[in-house]
Structure 1
Amino acid sequence: MFRNFTSTLAAVNAGGKKDDAKKSISPTLRTDIYSAMDQTKAWLGGEGGGGQAGDGVSYGSIVSTIQKHFPDITVGLDSVGQAEGEVAIVVGGVTNMILEMSKWDGMAGGMAMRTWVDTLSDAHGRISADRGGVKISRKELVGRGITRGVNQLTDVTLMTREFAARIQIISLLKSVNTKIHGTGSDQARQGEALWSSKFI
C-alpha cells in the first residue's frame, strides 16, 4: 500500500525536493502534529474503537493530516492490512512533520519530539505481547514499523540547524529503538549508529 509513499520519501531523502522551498511555517502545523500524535497513540494501541494498525483502513485520517503538509506524498495499495508498513508510514510522516516544525522553531520541535517519542513508547507498551497462535505478535509488528518509520522514512534534511535543538532531537530519535526493543538489542544498536552519524 505504501510503495508510492515510501518511494516519495526516498526521493526526498535523495535530494529530489521541489525547487520552491517553503518560505514560512504552516499555521496549522503545530496543531496538526499534536492531533496526529493523539490519533496515532490510540490507533497503535487499538483503543477507542477507531481501528488499529494493520486493519487497512483506520490510518487514513492520520495520513490525510500528514499529506496536508507533504502533499506530494501518495499512498499506494500494495500493503493493505500490513501493520508494520502502515505503522512505518504514519511514524515516518509524523516524525517528518515534527522535523519540519523544528526547522522554523528548534525548541518547539525538540519539545514536540520528546512528546512523540514518549507517545510511541507508551503506545507500544500498552499493546499485548500475546502471539495468539501467530508467528509474530502484533506488538512485534508495530515495534518493527516504528523502527522502520524512524530509521528509514525520516527525512533528516527537514531538521533544524540550531545546534542545541538538533542534538536534542537526534538524542530523542536514538532513544526510540532502545525504548521499543530494549537496551542492547540489534535494533537499538543500529538506531544508535544511524542517528549518531546524523550529528555530523
Structure 2
Amino acid sequence: MLRSDIYTAVDQCKVWMNGGHGQVGDGVSYASVLSTIQKHFPNAKIGLEALGQTEVEVAVVVGGITNMILEMSKWESLAGGMAMRTWVDTLANMYTAVPQSSKKEAISRGILRGINQNTDYALMTKDFTARIQVVSSLKSLFPKIYGTGSEEARQAEALLSSKLI
C-alpha cells in the first residue's frame, strides 16, 4: 500500500505543481496529495495561517512524500532508493517546467525547506548501499534547482549533509 501511495502522491504532485487542477500556492489544490500523505503521516498538515503560501505548501508536500519514501526504505531498502531517484527526478523536472517568476523562487525555497526541515531522516533505511543511493539522489536535486556549482546548491548540500551525519 505504501509503495502505491508513494507513486500516487508523486503523480498528484505533478498535476498540482504543473497547474493541472489548481495551482501551487492557491491554498486548496494540494488537498489530494496531502490526503495521500496523511494516510501514512496523519500529522502532515498545512495550518490555516499558511494557506496560500507557496513555500509552506511545497515544503509540506515535499517533506511528506520524502518521508513516505524514507519509511518504505526501512522495509524495502533498494525499492526505497529507486523511489527516491524517481521522486528527485520528478521534482527537478516539475521545477524546470515552472515559468520564471516570484512563485518559482518560492517553490525552490519550499523544496529546500521540505527536504531539510520537514523530512525525518530517522525513517531512512540502515542498509548502507540503499542509504548511499537515497542520500546521493537527494544531493543531486540541489544543482538541478540552483545550478551546478552555485553557492545556493553548495549551501543546500551542506545543510543536508549536516542532518545526515
Deviations 1:6-50, CA, capped at 9 Å, x for gaps: xxxxxxxxxxxxxxxxxxxxxx1000000000111121121x3x1
Secondary structure of the corresponding residue to residue 132 of structure 2? helix
Structure 1 window deviating more from structure 2 (66-75 vs 95-104): it is 66-75
Task: Give the corresponding residue for 1:4.
Answer: none
Check if 1:34 corresponds to 2:40: no
> Residues 117-196 of structure 1 correspond to what in structure 2 (within 5 A)?
117-129=88-100, 131=101, 137-196=102-161
Question: Does the 8 Å CA contact 1:170/1:198 hold for their aligned counterparts?
Answer: no
Partner of 1:112: 83
Q: What displacement does 1:186 show? A: 3.0
- Identity rate of aligned residues, in percent? 63
1:100-142: CA deviation from partner (whole Å, max 9, x where unpaired): 000101100000000000000000111111x3xxxxx211111
Q: Which amino acid in 2 is paired with 1:189? A: R
TM-score (norm 1): 0.78
Residue identity in the other structure for 2:18: G
Q: Which 5+ residue runs of structure 1 have no aligned equivalent?
A: 1-27, 132-136
**Is residue 87 from structure 1 mapped to residue 58 from structure 2 by the alignment?**
yes
Matched residue type, 1:65: T
**Deviation at 1:181?**
1.1
Structure number having the greater helix percentage: 2
User: Aligned Cα RMSD in Å?
Assistant: 1.3
Shift of 1:74: 4.2
- 1:199 shift after superposition: 5.1
The Cα of 1:67 is off from its aligned counterpart by: 0.8
List 4+ stretches of structure 1 deviating above 6 A.
none
Structure 2 letter corresponding to 1:108: A
Whether contact under 8 Å (2:95, 2:108) holds in the other structure is: yes
| Cross-structure match for 1:96 | 67
Paired residue total: 165
TM-score by length of 2: 0.94
Segments of 5+ residues of structure 2 without an aligned counterpart are: none
Cα distance change on mapping 1:196 and 1:77 into 2, 3 Å: same
